[in-house]
Structure 1
Amino acid sequence: MLTFGIEEEFVFLDRATLTPVPVSADVQRELQEFDFAGGVVRSEFLRSQVEYASPVLGSFEEAAGALWSFRTALTSCAEDHGVLAAGVGTPFTNPNGAMVTDNSRYENIAGSIGALAFEHHLNGLHIHVGVPEGEAAIGALNYLRRWLPVLLAMSANSPFWCGEDTTFSSWRGIQYRRWTTAGCPPRFLDAADYDRRTKALIGIGVTPDQGSISWSARLSHHQPTVEIRVADAQLEPSTTLLLALLGRALVATFLGRPETSFPDPGPELLDAALWHSARHGLTAQLVHPVDESLAPASVVIQALLDETHQALEASGDLAIVTALAEQLLLIGTGADRQRQAFAVHGREGLAAFLSNAIKNESSAHQPAAGHLGPDDPRPLESEPLG
């Protein structure tokens, strides 16, 4: 059974204006009273952001317990400071100034990217899946590439920017295309090829280290994991869990048949498919990862479930993943639901929706009382930047 981990980024918003508020340091200090200390809870690029890094997880139940516990504490602390904690890819409105966290690494990056620092109000969800180091990890990374646009479409949760509807489902996905490294990673020949090519990027543009390589998936250089970074931050833990379990199942699917010849779409198709997913989410046809043609979103998601069926069955996740995927198709992505809330009651309605969404889960998805996660307490470690 492959282990996995989850990193969720949240933004603190003014309840009336939905503008980011720089209270992260204060909230982090208060979170320590809930036993969420440094390493588990971390600063992000901006002082309005915070990142939660889960322990190493082995099951849906452990993941649900970890996410539920943190979100409950985060909501309480945010309320104490009079702000709203939101799991959104981009905030509804942007503040004047970048509000960069007081950290030498972040300050150096901000100095390097100029005006982009004022627009990096981006929040993501990163899924780590434990893999054997070496060629297996490279094979898994190569295999994941064709599924990244589907995961982006399912996670799309950033429709607003500067108080306007962008008409995109994932504006975060579009904003990220402006960085030195972005989009689908290239295909690598082997582990040596990955090592050589990633090291060659260091020092070019805004790539001071391997942790600043911003591909939609990459290998962690801190631990033996494949890191899937394509998803927007999520409104609710249920969609985070869906994406995490699918990410683990995809890696397990590859490891279960590493000698199989998988289709390898060209980089131009993958890049176009990512843009298409960012634009439409699940509201239009998606690029089918196998036959490389446009197909209804429901058909493409079913293809993903078919691809990972055996792995999901082996891990005991097939029923919950199928149910959550059907729920997503029924109620829409986070972007769809944000738009619905805003259309009905404007900014006030959107604020109420975001406030409820971060902690609004059915009792069926809540962990058993007192369950706080796995025996292994080690948090994940990776570099931020959304």
Structure 2
Amino acid sequence: MILLEPGSLAPVDVADEVIAELEHSDADVHWITHEYLRAQVEFSSPVLADADAADRVVREFRRAVAGAVARRGLLAASSGTAYGAGRSATGAGERYARFAQELGAIHPDHRIQGLHVHVAVWSREEGVAVMRALRPWLAPLLALTANSPCFGGIDTGFASWRTIVGRRFTTASVPPAFADAADYDRRVRALVGLGATLDRSSIFWMMRLAERYPTVELRVFDAQLTADETVGAALLARALVESAAAGDLPHAAAAAHAEHLDAAVWHAARHGLDDVLVDPVTASIAPARHVIERMLDAVRPALDASGDRDRVEALVARLRAEGNGAARQRAALAEGVPALERLLRTSFAPPAAA
């Protein structure tokens, strides 16, 4: 999430103050940490096994941050990019300083926020197999959850500008189709030291094996406007990983050509749900609604097993009717920056019901 100045919606470098306040408060937000920029706050949740627990911790974090930020006359926003122009200073630490130096003229655009979802796997071998199966599904996932249409004081015309910024890094977009865990580890080791890949933790593919945990980490998502969308994206990610691990995903013809997958991601970042998408099963162009329904069909057994089907289907139905985060931000901006500010503020932490 990013801390913004009301009116201009420009980033404000008060993350250190906010984190210090929360660390000494009664709020149960012990997983709050610093991020790359001093206007950003990261929340790394504990391990969560069910939707209710996820919903509870995400909302508690948002309420606590919203209060701390409001006491400074600012607002917090959960968006893949911020609307307002203006720079933010790099956070403390040698690693961040090295990263900023390596980025050069790219650095000022590195004001992006993502939702990273970790899903447990039994082994790294299973993780690599899951990654191979999920490669064609990254584009529809992005289209459904795109939430970064604005940057530098303008509407970029993209649903996920964060995705486009991310494509400038040394590693980006859809990961390769690795043969096995040894192949993954060998190729990742060869990348360390090249460009902005300072270490294994700075691999920026949309999906990777986590180095510290036995998980596949899906990094395709923009930061989500609301807690409901945050939790829903995580539940959908888990269902996809579990379906892939069980071999339940349909054969994906789209996986045959890496350039097709990469183009599908660019197209999803540009149009979100407002145009056609690449159908992973047929590799053909199809209406976005059809492709999203195809994805839901593929994971319904996993959603039924976890008890999350109604929740995920209700969220997807709402996104189809009201638009994803990008569409709602764009509609608000059409009314003016004050309307966009209201959307960001109320979406991050809605007022408590009377």
TM-score (norm 2): 0.96
Compute the displacement of 1:260 (Å).
Answer: 8.1
Report the 3-state secondary structure (helix = DSSP H, G, I; strand = E; otherwise coil) of the residue aligned with 2:167.
helix
Q: Distance in 1 between matches of 2:306 and 2:263?
A: 33
Q: Is the 8 A contact 2:39 2:88 kept in 1?
A: no
Q: Distance in 2 between matches of 1:14 and 1:191?
A: 45
Where does residue 348 of structure 2 map in the other structure? 358
Q: Is the 8 A contact 1:15 1:351 kept in 2?
A: yes
Where does residue 281 of structure 1 map in the other structure? 272
Compute the displacement of 1:362 (Å).
Answer: 9.9
* Identical aligned residues as a percent: 43
Where does residue 101 of structure 1 map in the other structure? 91
CA gap 1:41/1:232 in 2 versus in 1, 3 angstroms = same
Where does residue 27 of structure 1 map in the other structure? 18
Q: Is the 8 A contact 1:22 1:47 kept in 2?
A: yes
Q: Deviations over 1:60-90 (max 9, x none)?
A: 1111111111111111111011111000111
Report the 3-state secondary structure (helix = DSSP H, G, I; strand = E; otherwise coil) of the residue aligned with 2:119.
strand
Match status 1:69 vs 2:60: yes
Where does residue 235 of structure 2 map in the other structure? 245
Q: Is the 8 A contact 2:29 2:61 kept in 1?
A: no
Structure 2 alignment gaps of length 5 or more: none
Q: Is the 8 A contact 1:98 1:119 kept in 2?
A: no
Taking CA–CA contacts closer than 8 Å with sequence separation of 6 or more, which of the two structures ends up with the larger relative contact order? 1
TM-score (norm 1): 0.88
> Structure 2 matches for 1:74-93, cutoff 5 A?
74-93=65-84
Where does residue 259 of structure 2 map in the other structure? 268
> Structure 2 matches for 1:332-347, cutoff 5 A?
332-344=323-335, 346-347=336-337
Q: Distance in 2 between matches of 1:163 and 1:17?
A: 9
Q: Deviations over 1:108-139 (max 9, x none)?
A: 11111111111101011101000011311110
Where does residue 223 of structure 1 map in the other structure? 213
Report the 3-state secondary structure (helix = DSSP H, G, I; strand = E; otherwise coil) of the residue aligned with 1:178.
coil
Q: Is the 8 A contact 2:115 2:219 kept in 1?
A: yes
Compute the displacement of 1:31 (Å).
Answer: 1.3
What amino acid is the match of 1:319? D
Report the 3-state secondary structure (helix = DSSP H, G, I; strand = E; otherwise coil) of the residue aligned with 1:30.
helix
Where does residue 293 of structure 1 map in the other structure? 284
2:313 pairs with one of 312, 322, 346: 322
Q: Distance in 2 between matches of 1:227 and 1:356?
A: 29
Report the 3-state secondary structure (helix = DSSP H, G, I; strand = E; otherwise coil) of the residue aligned with 1:295.
strand
Q: Is the 8 A contact 2:251 2:281 kept in 1?
A: no
Q: Distance in 2 between matches of 1:290 and 1:230?
A: 20
What amino acid is the match of 1:210? R
Q: Distance in 2 between matches of 1:320 and 1:48?
A: 33
Match status 1:56 vs 2:39: no
Compute the displacement of 1:340 (Å).
Answer: 1.1
CA gap 1:79/1:361 in 2 versus in 1, 3 angstroms = closer
What is the number of equivalent residue pairs in this alignment? 351
Report the more deviating stretch, 163-172 or 259-268.
Answer: 259-268
Q: Distance in 2 between matches of 1:214 and 1:269?
A: 19
Compute the displacement of 1:257 (Å).
Answer: 2.4
Structure 1 alignment gaps of length 5 or more: 1-9, 364-386
> Structure 2 matches for 1:144-293, cutoff 5 A?
144-257=134-247, 263=253, 264-293=255-284
Where does residue 37 of structure 2 map in the other structure? 46
**Two-structure CA RMSD over aligned residues (Å):** 1.6
Match status 1:348 vs 2:309: no
Report the 3-state secondary structure (helix = DSSP H, G, I; strand = E; otherwise coil) of the residue aligned with 1:92.
coil
What amino acid is the match of 1:291? T
What amino acid is the match of 2:21? E
What amino acid is the match of 1:224? P
> Structure 2 matches for 1:109-124, cutoff 5 A?
109-124=99-114
CA gap 1:287/1:25 in 2 versus in 1, 3 angstroms = same
